[in-house]
Amino acid sequence: MTVRNALYAQSGGMTAVINASACGVIEAARLHPEVIGKVFAARHGTLGVLREELFDTGPIRRGELIGLRQTPGGAFGSCRFDLDDPADNPAQYDRLFAVLAAHDIGFVFLNGGNGSMQTALQVDREAAVRGYPLQVIGIPKTVDNDIVEADCCPGYGSAIKYLAASVREASIDMASMSSRRGRVFVVEVMGRNAGWLAAGCGLAADTADAPPHLIVLPEVAYDEGRFLAAVTDWVERIGWCTVVVAEGVRGTDGRPLAQAASDGKYVQLGGAGAVVSHRIQAALGFKVHCAVTDYLQRSARHLASATDDAQAWAVGAAAVGAAVAGQSGVTTAVERLSDAPYCWRVGTTPLASVANLERHLPAEFIRDDGLHVSDAFMRWARPLIAGESIPAFLDGLPRYWRHELGLEPAKLAPYSGLGRI
């Protein structure tokens, strides 16, 4: 068998454990020198491929891989840039395959979410059209947990472990205080269209009355009257309540409660928590505090889930396994074998059945009144946060890894096809 090089690229928004997937790829590839030569990592994902900005991961020592695995964010850089359709922009693919050929790349591992799976699918198909021998394997990653055909997505378990712990802690603080007025704590979490992150906060509730008391999901139209009545109920009962709000919550008219800014293709939402807080304060007169977790929830590696970390590593390593086994046009995916004990394995799914689709919270994971999660969700989600993967600390803070790799010397002329991106 001919030995060819591999290309690994990180894509889309980051997670606390995406670098564990990078580790999985690098470590598994090193076990197969008969198939895979160098493992290049693209700088800033697909942008780096087009720009021919590649790092050779070969000099990363085994010990450094520990640091890489414990570091949040994308160690090699990511981007929110998806390739065009080959029919619309063949020149983009001319460039792409020129870069792959120049570096004798026979394997592409694209570590991303729904959009990245579409890019991977296009590259896989175009390679066949062009007769370029290439195996393309997707590696799932997203805190949003919205990739279809998988039980869960690496990155999600750590995000909800952090969020549920934070909701529990802040709620204990809330419960400590005494006040003549009702008090409400609102926490806004990510989730444009799918409420997986908001739902995960439900794990904080270890009894029926425990916080969070209300979860406002994008899957359920925000009915202000019903919501405020539910807040009032809780405050009358225990004096306070904790509310989780997904950033993408929409009113009964289908419009987002708040829309901070629009950035072309990607709508950057934000402010749903502030809107809900303001409404509670104005309509009910309660004292409201609002936390917005924003990037903190997807980068809190200091409280990563050991299960999530293991799965992130495994989907990376399994991608190499799939490549070595001759597969292409597939993505690795976490499959659940059983709830209790929680058993899982990594399988593969055709990219075509995953690309650009979005997985919403199923109805059976939402409580009947639409304002919390169901027991079925709790059973499903609880194993995903099991175990604490604590990073190394130095001087009181997590010590994270930065690579010091130089870019591979370019073999092609600079690429001008990206314009101002």
CB of 128 to a copy of itself, least distance (A): 29
Binders of a copy of itself among 123-162, rule CB under 8 A?
161
Q: Where are the beta strands (DSSP E) in 226-329?
A: 240-246, 261-263, 266-268, 287-292, 304-305
Interatomic CA distance for residues 238 and 48, integer angstroms: 54
Under rule CB under 8 A, residue 377 binds a copy of itself: no
- Closest-CA residue to 164 (of 203, 210, 216): 203
Under rule CB under 8 A, residue 14 binds a copy of itself: yes
| Options 38, 69, 95, 301; binder of a copy of itself; rule CB under 8 A | 301
Neighbouring CB atoms inside 10 A of 240's CB total: 22
Element (DSSP H or E) covering residue 283: helix 272-284
CB of 23 to a copy of itself, least distance (A): 16
Catalytic residue among 144, 146, 308, 309: 144
Binders of a copy of itself among 37-66, rule CB under 8 A?
44-45, 47
| Options 281, 347, 405, 408; binder of a copy of itself; rule CB under 8 A | 281
Under rule CB under 8 A, residue 196 binds a copy of itself: no
CB of 267 to a copy of itself, least distance (A): 12
| Options 83, 203, 312, 346; binder of a copy of itself; rule CB under 8 A | 203
Kindly tell me which of 164 and 317 has the beta carbon lying closer to a copy of itself: 164
| Options 36, 134, 366, 385; binder of a copy of itself; rule CB under 8 A | 385
Rounded to 5 degrees, what are φ and ψ at 233? -55, -50
Under rule CB under 8 A, residue 215 binds a copy of itself: no
Interatomic CA distance for residues 118 and 124, integer angstroms: 10
| Options 130, 192, 279, 302; binder of a copy of itself; rule CB under 8 A | 302
Kindly tell me which of 277 and 348 has the beta carbon lying closer to a copy of itself: 277
Kindly tell me which of 127 and 288 has the beta carbon lying closer to a copy of itself: 288
Interatomic CA distance for residues 84 and 412, integer angstroms: 21
- Closest-CA residue to 101 (of 71, 65, 130, 77): 130
| Options 1, 131, 176, 341; binder of a copy of itself; rule CB under 8 A | 176
DSSP3 helix / strand / coil % (the chain, rounded to 5) = 40, 20, 40
CA angle 13/167/68 to nearest 5° reads 40
CB of 279 to a copy of itself, least distance (A): 13
Element (DSSP H or E) covering residue 198: helix 196-200
Q: Which stretch binds a copy of itself (CB under 8 A): 108-116, 165-173, 358-366, 409-417?
A: 165-173
| Options 39, 65, 79, 214; binder of a copy of itself; rule CB under 8 A | 79
Place of tokens 């995406």: 18
CB of 32 to a copy of itself, least distance (A): 28
Q: Which stretch binds a copy of itself (CB under 8 A): 199-207, 217-225, 250-258, 324-332?
A: 199-207
- Closest-CA residue to 303 (of 195, 202, 169): 169
Task: Give the bridge partners for 373, in sequence order.
Answer: 366
Interatomic CA distance for residues 219 and 213, integer angstroms: 18
CB of 251 to a copy of itself, least distance (A): 21
Interatomic CA distance for residues 110 and 9, integer angstroms: 5
- What does each C-alpha distance from 183 to 54, 171, 217, 244, 272 come to in angstroms? 53, 11, 21, 14, 19
233 classed as catalytic = no
Under rule CB under 8 A, residue 372 binds a copy of itself: no
Binders of a copy of itself among 326-345, rule CB under 8 A?
none
CB of 245 to a copy of itself, least distance (A): 13
Is the peptide bond between 341 and the residue preceding it cis, with omega within 30 degrees of 0?
A: yes
Provide the 3-class DSSP secondary structure of residue 197.
Answer: helix
| Options 31, 91, 128, 172; binder of a copy of itself; rule CB under 8 A | 172
Question: Residues in contact with a copy of itself, total (CB under 8 A)?
Answer: 78
Residue 56 corresponds to which amino acid? D
Provide the 3-class DSSP secondary structure of residue 302.
Answer: helix
Under rule CB under 8 A, residue 299 binds a copy of itself: yes
Binders of a copy of itself among 256-275, rule CB under 8 A?
261, 263, 268, 270, 274
Active site residues: 144
